[in-house]
Amino acid sequence: EETHHLAVFGGKPQPPPGREALANSLAEALALDTGNGSAELAQAILRYTQETGILRAWRMGGKEILIFGELGLQEYAAAWVLAQAWEQDAKGAWNFLEGRLHNRAWRRPLFFLAELLPDANPLIQRILEADAPFEKPLQRSLRLAAAIATAHPEKSRQQVRQIAQRIEKIILNSST
């Protein structure tokens, strides 16, 4: 649910993503573009997203919250918000991501993030430098960086050689 909150509210401490909170956020955003009638338009968009299954209503703690109907939408939305944050403050976005690198719920958002960034090299470099628990025996950060780099070779050319050299070193050291 953390990725959902990040996607809907940009990581800001906000009320749970219920119908009213989402309608207000949407109306505020629409008011910037359309001016008058933004509240009505927000309600219409909200109805449409629920009728088509883009959003679903759940009851939690006696409150209705809205979630994405498909996990892929949630993951992409979280990555989109992170890409925006990365462009404005890469260090702040990284501070948010670093503790989530090896959380399985964040794997696809990381791949989406690499796709959304104009240059994935800085992200991949930070992943390579991440000091994950048990990094030496498991090489989780190296494997994650390699997976992202190979999924997005056109955006990570600088890191591919570095990753290949590190993998080669590990293989040579393990055979001796």
Token pair 């939408």 in the structure block, residue: 73
Report long-range pairs for 50-58 (Cβ below 8 Å, ≥24 apart). Answer: 55/22, 57/19
Place of tokens 């025996």: 137
**What does the alpha-carbon distance between residue 35 and residue 141 come to, in Å, rounded to a whole number?**
46
pTM: 0.72
Q: Which residues contact 25 (CB under 8 A, 6 or more apart)?
A: 8, 9, 14
Contact 131, 139 (CB under 8 A): no
Going by pLDDT thresholds of 50, 70 and 90, the confidence category of residue 3 is low
User: Of 127, 114, 124, which is closest to residue 79 (Cα–Cα)?
Assistant: 114
Residue 36 has pLDDT above 80, yes or no: no
Q: What pLDDT, on a 0 to 100 scale, did the predictor assign at position 6?
A: 52
| pLDDT value, residue 16 | 61
Confidence of residue 174 (pLDDT cuts 50, 70, 90): confident
pLDDT exceeding 70 applies to what percent of the chain?
A: 87
CB 42 within 8 A of CB 49: no
Average pLDDT over residues 153-158: 79
pLDDT in tens, 9-21: 455 555 567 778 7
Query: Does residue 4 carry a pLDDT above 90?
Result: no
Res 107: pLDDT: 93
Give the integer Cα–Cα distance in Å for 71 and 75.
6
Look up residue 99 and give its DSSP letter.
T
pLDDT at 159: 84
DSSP annotation of 81 reads H
pLDDT value at position 88? 95
The predicted-structure confidence for 77-131, as pLDDT tens digits, reads as follows 899 999 999 999 999 999 999 989 999 989 999 999 999 999 999 999 999 999 8
Lowest-pLDDT range of 34-48, 66-80, 140-154: 34-48
Mean per-residue pLDDT of the chain: 83
